[in-house]
């Protein structure tokens, strides 16, 4: 098991070249922070994640969450890690200063989240869900609820969950059935079964605060009749302490492929006392405001695991001696073999491309809130809307590929659990599934995001890529290679985009959705690496680290970007063949 070394320089380089973070911190909303504070912040946090959290990853997986007599017990190594994380405050650097956060842009918080996901993805989910609960409570909770719950959630005394899914309501949230009956004193009694509740129960904190979607009487069917409730595991007494057990029972936890140290619970609500968040029947609206952020958070897990799988594979390849390269007299470390190097550079290129995509999307999230000019805010909102499904799906799909390459680089040892490569491969497999499957992301992209502003948003993004290709052209033969490949790929993207935009039959878009997203993500990845190559070219030619950025972009352009064209061809193949085979002959 290789140690985790936080890629501090990569993160800072991406914050600079892709997010243009100093232009964000200059906005009035961030008057209290300064771009120069970011480097020491990331550097210091890196040490914490490397030293405190990363060592809990393998032992957490081996021990796993355990369920007995209605109670969930967490791995011993997690004792204290949770409190240390909240105490250190790294998880709240982007939180609002009014509630004890650091007041930094979200894209800086993203750097923390990336390191957290690399360090221990299973553990990171507790933090992620607690942060989501905090955000919902901050924005939509009554003063009374905020007084009682917010501080304990922020300090990590208590943790939060998001309770949406039911056995018959997964991708289709609107099908949920859990009921909330008003008692008459402003509270409700919730009854129903919920599944897939991440960190739904555990023994690391004194209380678990569930944010639950349920149906109050009088609402329409579907998503417009759903309300949001706060339901604590223990009711809180007048002193603000956990007291009587509420009517929420942990029925079981799931036996899963990965993230064994993240307890995935079946919860049964039996007339559990709940407190309304915001207004009745508007629960899904509140959830939607969280959605882009949560989806980027899952994309970030793809990046985080990819980064760690890449580091593990590279460390192994530098150490493992096996076979000879052509003309060599002696056996070599396997990093010397062309095919192993191809795998490592593929892992590197995808990981850095994902980082660019995610850090661009989150910068848009910051600008959407903080830009002073309304047109800029609207443009940032549209950009975030476009990039979110691509970032979530492409980063997680490529993350799975990178983790699989990590297993492959290890050869036979990759299949043995002790190297850790297999754990990454298992853990990351949930990311294309939860927070909206990647199929749902693709549908969102072609049905809701392509038509934004009559296609002007996607076209503007492709224009931007072409402009970068043009900018690279003529600067050097190295950058020319990238430029040509990027222009070609963008041309394919434009063709497919035009066909999907013109399609009158929604089934044409739906049939091509995943292939289109895949192709567009591949082009976007090339774009972010190209921008980093351009920045590296303009900086010191003596800096080998920067030169490696140019080589990585060239490698991607020559070896991975060509995959886009095939995807765009498939994207416009249409739905007819899908339905030409009767169900009977499938399976």
- Residues 184 to 203 in contact with a second copy, rule: CB under 8 A: 195-196
Nearest alpha-carbon partner for 424 in 66, 120, 99, 38: 120
How many amino acids of this chain bind a second copy (CB under 8 A)? 99
Tell me which stretch binds a second copy (CB under 8 A): 87-95, 493-501, 532-540, 568-576.
Answer: 568-576
Residues with Cβ < 8 Å from 373, sequence gap 6 or more?
none
3-state secondary structure 420-476: CHHHHHHHHCCCCCCCCCHHHHHHHHHHHHCCHHHHHHHHHHHHHHHHHHHHHCCCC
Tell me which stretch binds a second copy (CB under 8 A): 106-114, 164-172, 284-292, 529-537.
Answer: 164-172
180 scored as a contact of a second copy (CB under 8 A):
no
The least CB distance from residue 565 to a second copy, in Å, is 6
User: According to CB under 8 A, which one of 438, 490, 497, 532 is a site residue for a second copy?
Assistant: 438
Q: How far apart are CA 133 and CA 91, in angstroms?
A: 14
402 scored as a contact of a second copy (CB under 8 A):
no
Q: How far apart are CA 5 and CA 355, in angstroms?
A: 16
313 scored as a contact of a second copy (CB under 8 A):
yes
118 scored as a contact of a second copy (CB under 8 A):
no
User: According to CB under 8 A, which one of 215, 514, 521, 537 is a site residue for a second copy?
Assistant: 514
The least CB distance from residue 88 to a second copy, in Å, is 27
What stretch of H or E contains 215?
none
Q: How far apart are CA 175 and CA 164, in angstroms?
A: 11
Region class of 453: left (phi > 0), else alpha (psi between -120 and 50), else beta: left
223 scored as a contact of a second copy (CB under 8 A):
no
100 scored as a contact of a second copy (CB under 8 A):
no
Structure-derived torsion over alpha carbons of residues 375, 378, 382, 388, reported in degrees to the nearest 10: 130
Tell me which stretch binds a second copy (CB under 8 A): 31-39, 110-118, 167-175, 496-504.
Answer: 167-175
400 scored as a contact of a second copy (CB under 8 A):
yes
328 scored as a contact of a second copy (CB under 8 A):
no
- C-alpha triplet 485, 486, 488: angle, nearest 5°: 65
Nearest alpha-carbon partner for 379 in 393, 365, 396, 390: 365
Catalytic machinery residues: 435
User: According to CB under 8 A, which one of 89, 232, 258, 263 is a site residue for a second copy?
Assistant: 258
The least CB distance from residue 378 to a second copy, in Å, is 29
* Smaller CB separation from a second copy, 92 or 514: 514
- String marking each residue 237-256 x if it binds a second copy according to CB under 8 A: -----------------xxx
- String marking each residue 282-311 x if it binds a second copy according to CB under 8 A: ----------------------------xx
- C-alpha triplet 317, 322, 324: angle, nearest 5°: 110
| Spatial contact of 131 and 297, defined as CB atoms under 8 Å apart | no
Tell me which stretch binds a second copy (CB under 8 A): 81-89, 274-282, 296-304, 314-322.
Answer: 314-322
451 scored as a contact of a second copy (CB under 8 A):
no
Q: How far apart are CA 166 and CA 160, in angstroms?
A: 18
Tell me which stretch binds a second copy (CB under 8 A): 20-28, 32-40, 407-415, 527-535.
Answer: 407-415
User: According to CB under 8 A, which one of 185, 238, 329, 338 is a site residue for a second copy?
Assistant: 338
414 scored as a contact of a second copy (CB under 8 A):
yes
585 scored as a contact of a second copy (CB under 8 A):
yes
544 scored as a contact of a second copy (CB under 8 A):
yes
- C-alpha triplet 266, 301, 340: angle, nearest 5°: 125
548 scored as a contact of a second copy (CB under 8 A):
yes
Residues with Cβ < 8 Å from 400, sequence gap 6 or more?
302, 425, 428, 429, 431, 432
| Spatial contact of 394 and 521, defined as CB atoms under 8 Å apart | yes
DSSP string, 270-334: EEEEEEEESSTT-HHHHHHHHHHHHHHHHHHHHHHHHHHHHHHHHHHHHH-B-S--TT-SS--BG
53 scored as a contact of a second copy (CB under 8 A):
no
User: According to CB under 8 A, which one of 257, 378, 456, 467 is a site residue for a second copy?
Assistant: 257
User: According to CB under 8 A, which one of 321, 378, 456, 467 is a site residue for a second copy?
Assistant: 321
User: According to CB under 8 A, which one of 430, 458, 496, 534 is a site residue for a second copy?
Assistant: 430
User: According to CB under 8 A, which one of 202, 337, 355, 367 is a site residue for a second copy?
Assistant: 337
Tell me which stretch binds a second copy (CB under 8 A): 20-28, 129-137, 358-366, 571-579.
Answer: 571-579
């Amino acid at each position: 098991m290789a140690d985790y070394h936080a890629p501090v320089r990569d993160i800072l380089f991406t914050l600079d070249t892709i997010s243009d973070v100093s232009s964000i911190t200059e906005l009035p909303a961030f008057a209290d922070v300064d771009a120069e504070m970011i480097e020491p912040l990331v550097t210091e946090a890196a040490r914490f994640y490397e030293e405190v959290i990363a060592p809990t990853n393998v032992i957490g997986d081996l021990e796993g969450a355990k369920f007995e007599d209605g109670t969930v017990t967490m791995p011993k190594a997690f004792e204290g890690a949770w409190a240390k994380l909240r105490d250190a405050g790294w998880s709240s650097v982007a939180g609002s200063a009014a509630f004890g956060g650091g007041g930094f842009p979200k894209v800086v918080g993203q750097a923390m989240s990336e390191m957290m996901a690399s360090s221990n993805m299973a553990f990171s989910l507790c933090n992620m869900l607690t942060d989501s609960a905090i955000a919902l409570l901050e924005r939509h909770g009554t003063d009374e609820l905020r007084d009682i719950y917010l501080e304990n959630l922020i300090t990590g005394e208590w943790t939060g969950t998001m309770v949406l899914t039911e056995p018959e309501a997964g991708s289709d949230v609107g099908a949920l059935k859990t009921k909330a009956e008003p008692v008459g004193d402003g509270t409700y009694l919730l009854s129903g079964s919920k599944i897939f509740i991440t960190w739904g129960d555990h023994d690391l904190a004194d209380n678990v605060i569930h944010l639950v979607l349920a149906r109050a009487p009088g609402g329409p069917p579907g998503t417009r009749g759903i309300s949001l409730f706060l339901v604590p595991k223990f009711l809180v007494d007048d002193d603000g302490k956990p007291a009587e057990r509420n009517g929420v029972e942990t029925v079981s936890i799931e036996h899963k492929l990965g993230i064994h140290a993240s307890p995935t619970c079946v919860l049964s609500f039996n007339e559990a006392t709940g407190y309304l968040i915001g207004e009745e029947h508007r629960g899904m609206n509140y959830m939607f405001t969280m959605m882009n952020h949560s989806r980027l958070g899952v994309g970030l897990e793809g990046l985080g695991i990819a980064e760690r799988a890449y580091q593990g594979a590279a460390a192994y390849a530098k150490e493992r001696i096996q076979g000879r390269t052509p003309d060599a007299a002696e056996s070599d470390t396997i990093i010397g073999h062309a095919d192993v190097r191809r795998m490592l550079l593929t892992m590197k290129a995808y990981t850095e491309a994902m980082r660019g995509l995610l850090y661009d999307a989150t910068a848009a999230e910051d600008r959407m809130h903080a830009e002073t000019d309304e047109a800029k805010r609207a443009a940032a909102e549209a950009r975030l809307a476009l990039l979110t499904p691509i970032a979530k799906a492409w980063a997680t799909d490529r993350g799975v590929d990178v983790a699989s390459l990590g297993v492959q680089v290890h050869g036979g040892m990759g299949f043995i659990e002790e190297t850790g490569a297999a754990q990454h491969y298992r853990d990351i497999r949930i990311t294309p599934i939860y927070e909206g499957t990647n199929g749902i992301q693709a549908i969102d992209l072609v049905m809701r995001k392509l038509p934004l502003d009559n296609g002007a948003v996607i076209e503007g993004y492709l224009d931007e890529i072409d402009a970068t290709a043009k900018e690279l052209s003529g600067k050097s033969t190295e950058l020319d290679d990238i430029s040509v490949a990027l222009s070609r790929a963008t041309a394919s993207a434009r063709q497919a985009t035009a066909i999907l935009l013109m399609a009158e039959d929604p089934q044409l878009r739906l049939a091509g959705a995943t292939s289109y997203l895949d192709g567009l993500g591949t082009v976007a990845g090339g774009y972010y690496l190209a921008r980093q190559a351009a920045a590296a070219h303009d900086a010191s030619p003596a800096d080998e680290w920067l030169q490696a950025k140019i080589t990585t972009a060239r490698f991607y352009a020559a070896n991975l970007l060509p995959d886009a064209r095939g995807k765009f061809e498939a994207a416009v193949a249409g739905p007819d063949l899908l339905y030409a085979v009767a169900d009977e002959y499938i399976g």
